[in-house]
Structure 1
Amino acid sequence: MSEAILDEVSVLSSIYCGPGEFQLLHAQDGILVQINSTIGGERGLNLSLSFHLHDRYPSCPPDISVSSTSLFRSQCHNIRQKLLEKAASLPPEPMVHQLVECAQQQFVEVTKAYRGGREEVEERNKQGEWTVVLLLDHIRAKNRYVGLLERWTQQLQLTGRMFLGPCILVVLQGARADIKEFCRLLKTVKVDVDSSGKKCKERMMKVLIETPLSSTCGHSLQDFVVKHYVSLSELTTAFQELHLTEIYQQILPSLSNWQQTGYHGEGSLNPKDS
């Protein structure tokens, strides 16, 4: 650990000296500094910031994660993006304290927006978060199709995975109403092309499972990522890594049946018009 990092850690531990405010963890290629605080008094929003200081820090900015049980994941993601942009713009010198202050500023703004949209927040909390797995028949216009799905997940504040391989799966997590809107868009917007190259809608999508997030061991995904796989064993491993083994076991019979009856998969030239 460099002298610059040691000095900064010493200063940070002095500034954030309240119970549970500061925590230092060792990582393989540096250290993790975690700072927990409450914005707006005891009843304010809780904020947890984690800074991964690599061995080359501060020559390179730290990796940053933001979490809060009081905010939506999308709000935490937005704050994280602003912190990363801020870190990239700062000179190569100790910056963690400055980034913490920036995060707290962002939280004040989020608090105002949170209070302004309180009814919407309460309604989402009533719905809770759900996990849904969709099965797509085929994809021909891959860039267009995937691009639209990525845009919709961002607009609807959904997270998940898209698995491209023998079976095309889309795993979504978020508010149930937003997931339903995603499915509506999927069936009403021309997302792909048919065998003649004409734009067409997704009419063969199947919902394999929909279940409250709490019933999937409570693990939530942080973003929407597209992944390729070539075998069922790779797909099995991917679901295990996402802590969605239980869901995978429930959809496996449908996937097996899909393969036995003849799936079309990514980029196949299925003569049926979608």
Structure 2
Amino acid sequence: SFPETHGITFRIQISVKELLDTDVLLKLLFHLPVNYPSTLPDISVNSDQLTRAQCMDVKDKLLEQAKKHLSEPMVHDLILWIQQHLKYVIKQSATVCDEKTTLSKGTSTEDGIWMVLLHLDHMRAKAKYVKTVEKWALDLMLTGRLMFMGKIILILLQGDRSNIKEYLILQKTSKVDVDSSGKKCKEKMISVLCETKVQSQHKRFQTFEVKEFSTLDELQKEFETAGLKTLFSEFVPPLLK
């Protein structure tokens, strides 16, 4: 997401223990601008064990720390710092949702509802493709939307995390479309824009529906109604570029 031409980008994965006895795998991406360290690095944080909000908290705290080290190389210090302080950063933001711990507490599967937003490049055999997606969603008890707006095709799914994973496997391994010569082909141009746990402010979709929108505003309203305003503003506008 950063322009690769300027400065250096590198990825680091670190595993941090001591959090409800589970390991948290942090995937950190540092982008060092040309005039680093007199300019702060861009940092992006991902982790399957943390919610999106927690990842944002970690990022904010890292940037706060980075300011203290301005004009001296800091990446190494930042990594050491987050390894020691992750548990405090997260304690403040919310409890960690790790499948092992939620299941062992005997909480309902409602806690395990995930959401994924997918972007498809095109659909040549649209009618057949749509039917297939509807069937998979039904079979895997996933709800959500298949949305068309101009050239943009988005699939938003909610459901059990393992079913969402299963869906992604089907989507990538089945011959769902036809190529330019009309031969059946697998979906190669699909990207997962976002995968996250369904939060309390998100509305649960009751059904899986196919919807066509003629304007970006209509599409945005669909997301907003579902409490997904941030998801929309973060991932959809870049697709229009």
Q: State the TM bucket, normalised to the shorter chain.
A: 0.5 to 0.7
Letter of the 2:173 counterpart = T
Distance 2:131 2:212 in 1: 15
Distance 1:182 1:123 in 2: 25
Letter of the 2:127 counterpart = N
Distance 1:164 1:242 in 2: 17
- Which has a greater percent of helix? 1
Letter of the 2:169 counterpart = R
Aligned in 2, Cα 1:180/1:124: closer, same or farther, shift over 3 Å?
A: farther
Q: Cα deviations across residues 71-99 of structure 1 (Å, max 9, x unaligned)?
A: xxxxxxxxxxxxxxxxxxxxxxxxxxxxx
Residue aligning to 2:135: 151
Mapping 1:1-274, distance limit 5 Å: 125=109, 128-166=112-150, 167-214=152-199, 217-252=201-236, 255-256=237-238, 258-260=239-241
Distance 2:111 2:174 in 1: 26
Q: Cα deviations across residues 141-196 of structure 1 (Å, max 9, x unaligned)?
A: 01110000000011100000010122100000001110011011001000010110
Distance 1:142 1:228 in 2: 13
Distance 2:184 2:108 in 1: 34
Distance 1:231 1:194 in 2: 28
SS of 2:188 mapped into structure 1: coil
Structure 1: unaligned runs, 5 residues or longer: 1-118, 261-274
Distance 2:122 2:167 in 1: 18
Contact 2:202 2:228 (C-alpha < 8 Å) held by counterparts: no
Distance 2:108 2:142 in 1: 13
Letter of the 2:122 counterpart = H
TM-score (normalizing by structure 2) = 0.53
Aligned in 2, Cα 1:246/1:196: closer, same or farther, shift over 3 Å?
A: same
Contact 1:124 1:175 (C-alpha < 8 Å) held by counterparts: no
Q: Cα deviations across residues 225-272 of structure 1 (Å, max 9, x unaligned)?
A: 0000122112111111222212212213xx42x332xxxxxxxxxxxx
Give the alignment's Cα RMSD to 1 decimal: 2.1
Distance 1:146 1:176 in 2: 22
Aligned in 2, Cα 1:124/1:243: closer, same or farther, shift over 3 Å?
A: same
Residue aligning to 2:19: none
Letter of the 1:172 counterpart = L
Letter of the 1:223 counterpart = T
Distance 2:231 2:116 in 1: 9
Letter of the 1:160 counterpart = G
TM-score (normalizing by structure 1) = 0.47
Distance 1:202 1:249 in 2: 26
Contact 2:175 2:186 (C-alpha < 8 Å) held by counterparts: yes
% identity of equivalent residues: 43
Please tell me whether Structure 1 or Structure 2 has the larger radius of gyration of its CA atoms. 1
Structure 2: unaligned runs, 5 residues or longer: 1-102
SS of 1:214 mapped into structure 2: coil
Contact 2:112 2:160 (C-alpha < 8 Å) held by counterparts: yes
Distance 1:235 1:144 in 2: 23
Contact 2:149 2:216 (C-alpha < 8 Å) held by counterparts: no
SS of 1:138 mapped into structure 2: coil
Residue aligning to 2:9: none
Contact 1:127 1:175 (C-alpha < 8 Å) held by counterparts: no
SS of 2:138 mapped into structure 1: helix
Question: When the two structures are aligned, how many residues end up with a matched partner?
Answer: 136
Contact 1:132 1:207 (C-alpha < 8 Å) held by counterparts: yes
